Structure 1
Amino acid sequence: MNDGLTTHGLDEDIRVEQVRLVFTNMKNSLYLGIALALVLLAALYSAHNPLPLLTWFSLVALGRVTCVSYAMLALRRGVSATNAPRLIRAMCVIKAFEGFAWGSLTWIVMGQGSLSEQLLTMAALAGVSGNAVSLLAPVFPLYASMQLVQLGVINSKLWLEGSSYSVLAVGCTLYVIGQIGQALMVQRESRESIGLRFENRDLLKRLQVESSRTEQALIEAEQANLAKSRFLAAASHDLRQPVHAQELFLEVLARSQLSQAQHKVLSSARAASQASAQMLNTLLDFSRIEAGVIEPQRRVFQLQPLLCALENELGSQADAKHIVYRSRETHLAVESDPSLLELILRNLISNAIRYTHQGGLLVACRKRGQSVSIEVFDTGIGIEPAQQTDVFREFQQLGNPERDRLKGLGLGLAISQGLAQSLGHALGLQSRPGRGSVFRIQVPCATGLLSSDAFVAASPATLHTGRLRGLHVLVIEDDASVRQGMLQLLEGWGCVCRGGEDIDDALRLVTDWPVELLISDYRLREHQTGGLVVQRVREAINAQVPALIITGDTAPERLREARDIDVPLLHKPVSPLQLYRVLSDMVGTPAGH
Structure 2
Amino acid sequence: MTSAAARDPNGEPLDRALAQRVLREHLGSFYGSRNVSVATHIGFAIALGVATFERSSVAALSWLGLVVATDLAVLLAPRWHAGIPDAMSAAWARRYAAQVTLLSLVAAPVPAFFMAPDDMVTTTLLVVVIMSGWTRSMQSLCSLKPALYGYGIPMMAGLVLALAWQGDGVHLFLAVFGAVHLVLTLRIATRQHRVLDEALRLRFRNEVLAARLGEQVVATERASQEKSRFLGTASHDLRQPLHAIALFGAALENELRHRPEGRNAERLMRAVHALGHSLDTMLDVSRLDAGVVAPVLDAVPLDAMFLTLNHTFSAQAEQRQLQLRVRASGLWVRSDPQLLHRMLSNLMDNALKYTWRGGVSVIARERGEVVWIEVRDTGIGIAPEQSGRIFEEFYQIDNPGRDRSRGLGIGLAIVQRLSRLLGHPVQMHSRLGRGTHVRVVVPAAP
Assess if the C-alpha contact under 8 Å between 2:164 and 2:175 holds in 1: no
Deviation of 1:348 after TM superposition, in Å, equals 1.0
C-alpha contact (below 8 Å) 1:348/1:416 kept by paired residues: yes
Q: TM-score, normalised by structure 2?
A: 0.71
What is the aligned-residue RMSD (CA, Å)? 4.6
Q: What residue in structure 2 maps to residue 402 of structure 1?
A: 401
- Aligned partners of 1:427 and 1:440 also within 8 Å: yes
- Paired letter, 2:157: S
Opposite residue 332 of structure 1, the aligned amino acid is: G
* Partners of 1:428 and 1:441 within 8 A in 2: yes
For residue 128 of structure 2, what is the aligned residue in structure 1? 130
Partners of 1:366 and 1:55 in 2: CA distance: 97
Distance of aligned partners of 1:351 and 1:34 in 2 relative to their CA distance in 1, 3 Å threshold: closer
Note the alpha carbon deviations across 1:14-57, whole angstroms, 9 max, x for none: xx99xx89998886567446534643564227xxxxxxx23444
* Aligned residues of 1:33 and 1:64 also touching (Cα < 8 A): no
Cα distance between partner residues in 1 of 2:443 and 2:91 = 72
Shift of 1:251: 5.0
Q: Tell me the equivalent position of 1:296.
A: 296
Alpha-carbon distance in structure 1 between the residues aligned to 2:294 and 2:275: 23
Cα distance in structure 2, aligned partners of 1:61 and 1:297: 82
Distance 1:176 1:223 in 2: 69
Aligned residues of 2:393 and 2:410 also touching (Cα < 8 A): yes
Give the match's secondary structure for 1:392.
Answer: coil
Query: Tell me, what secondary structure is at the counterpart of 1:397?
Result: coil
Cα 1:253–1:330, aligned 2, differ >3 Å: closer, same or farther?
same
| Map of 1:313 onto structure 2 | 312
Structure 2 unmatched ranges of 5 or more: 1-18, 81-89, 139-148
Higher relative contact order (CA 8 A, sep 6+): 1
Q: Write the distance in 2 (CA, Å) between the matches of 1:27 and 1:444.
A: 67
User: 1:287 maps to what in 2?
Assistant: 286
Q: Tell me how far 1:79 sits from its aligned partner.
A: 8.0
Partner of 2:271: 272
CA shift digits 1:506-551 (9 cap, x unpaired): xxxxxxxxxxxxxxxxxxxxxxxxxxxxxxxxxxxxxxxxxxxxxx
Give, in angstroms, the shift of residue 127 of structure 1. Answer: 1.9
Matches within 5 A, 1:286-365: 286-290=285-289, 291-296=291-296, 298-303=298-303, 305-322=304-321, 324-335=322-333, 336-365=335-364
Q: Quick check: 1:239 aligned with 2:238? A: yes
User: Shift of residue 200 of structure 1?
Assistant: 4.1
* Separation of aligned partners in 1, 2:326 and 2:399: 31
Matched residue type, 1:296: V
Q: Secondary structure at the match of 1:361?
A: strand
- Aligned-pair CA distance for 1:311: 3.7
The letter of the residue matching 1:54 is V
Separation (CA, whole Å) in 1 of partners of 2:34 and 2:299: 79
Q: 1:26/1:352 Cα in 2 relative to 1: closer, same or farther (>3 Å)?
A: closer
Amino acid paired to 1:142: P
- Match runs of 1:390-539 below 5 Å: 390-445=389-444, 447=446
Structure 2 vs 1, CA of residues 146 and 68 (structure 1 numbering), >3 Å: closer, same or farther?
Answer: farther
Note if contact 1:63-1:97 (Cα within 8 Å) is conserved in structure 2: no
**Map of 2:46 onto structure 1:** 35
Contact 1:296 1:423 (C-alpha < 8 Å) held by counterparts: no
Specify the code of the residue in structure 1 equivalent to 2:58: L
143-152 or 256-265, which moves further after superposition?
A: 256-265
TM-superposed CA distance for 1:331, in Å, is 3.8
The answer to whether the aligner puts 1:368 opposite 2:367 as a matched pair is yes
Q: Give me the identity figure in percent.
A: 28
Partner deviation per Cα, 1:409-429 (whole Å, 9 max, x = no partner): 121112223334444433211
Q: Distance in 2 between matches of 1:97 and 1:424?
A: 76
2:164 match: 152
Higher Cα radius of gyration? 1
Residues 130, 377 of structure 1: alpha-carbon distance in 2 compared, 3 angstrom cutoff: same
Amino acid in structure 2 at the alignment position of 1:35: I
Q: Deviations over 1:248-297 (max 9, x none)?
A: 3345557x766622665544433332222111111222233233324335
**Superposed displacement of residue 430, structure 1:** 0.6
Shift of 1:327: 0.3
Identify if the C-alpha distance between structure 1 residues 317 and 173 changes in structure 2 by more than 3 Å, giving closer, same or farther: same
Map 1:4-153 to 2 at 5 A: 28=39, 31-32=42-43, 35-36=46-47, 38-39=49-50, 42-44=53-55, 53-58=57-62, 97-103=109-115, 106=116, 121-137=119-135, 138=138, 139=149, 140-153=152-165
Instruction: Pick closer, same or farther for the CA change 1:176–1:26 going to 2, 3 Å.
Output: farther
Please, which moves more after superposition, 377-386 or 408-417? 377-386
2:347 maps to a residue whose letter is L
SS in 2 for 1:438: strand
Cα distance change, pair 201–302 in 1 and its aligned pair in 2 (3 A): closer
Tell me by how many angstroms 1:93 deviates.
7.3
TM-score when normalising by structure 1: 0.56
Q: CA deviation at 1:180?
A: 5.6
- Is the contact made by 1:380 and 1:435 (CA closer than 8 Å) also made in structure 2? yes
When the two structures are aligned, how many residues end up with a matched partner? 399
Q: Do 1:395 and 1:411's aligned partners in 2 also have CA atoms closer than 8 Å?
A: yes
The residue identity in structure 2 corresponding to 1:382 is: G
Q: Mean alpha-carbon deviation: is it higher for 384-393 or for 349-358? A: 384-393
- 1:124-273 → structure 2 map (5 Å cutoff): 124-137=122-135, 138=138, 139=149, 140-153=152-165, 155-156=166-167, 169-175=168-174, 187=186, 190-191=189-190, 194-195=193-194, 197-251=196-250, 260-261=258-259, 265-273=264-272
**Cα distance in 2 for residues equivalent to 1:337 and 1:390:** 27
Secondary structure at the counterpart of residue 43 of structure 1: coil
> Does structure 2 conserve the Cα–Cα contact (< 8 Å) formed by 1:428 and 1:439?
yes
Note the residue ranges of structure 1 that are not aligned, 5 or more in a row. 1-8, 46-52, 111-117, 157-168, 448-593
**Partner Cα separation in structure 1 for residue 58 and residue 255 of structure 2:** 132
Q: Match of 1:147, SS? A: helix
Letter matched to residue 112 of structure 2: F
Q: CA 1:147 to 1:23, structure 2 compared with 1: closer, same or farther past 3 Å?
A: farther
Q: CA deviation at 1:210?
A: 1.7
Shift of 1:214: 1.4
2: CA distance, partners of 1:78 / 1:36: 34
Query: Which amino acid is 2:131 matched to?
Result: V
Q: Distance in 2 between matches of 1:257 and 1:67?
A: 106
The residue that corresponds to 1:560 in the other structure is none
More displaced stretch, 29-38 vs 326-335 = 29-38
Deviation at 1:365, TM superposition (A): 3.4
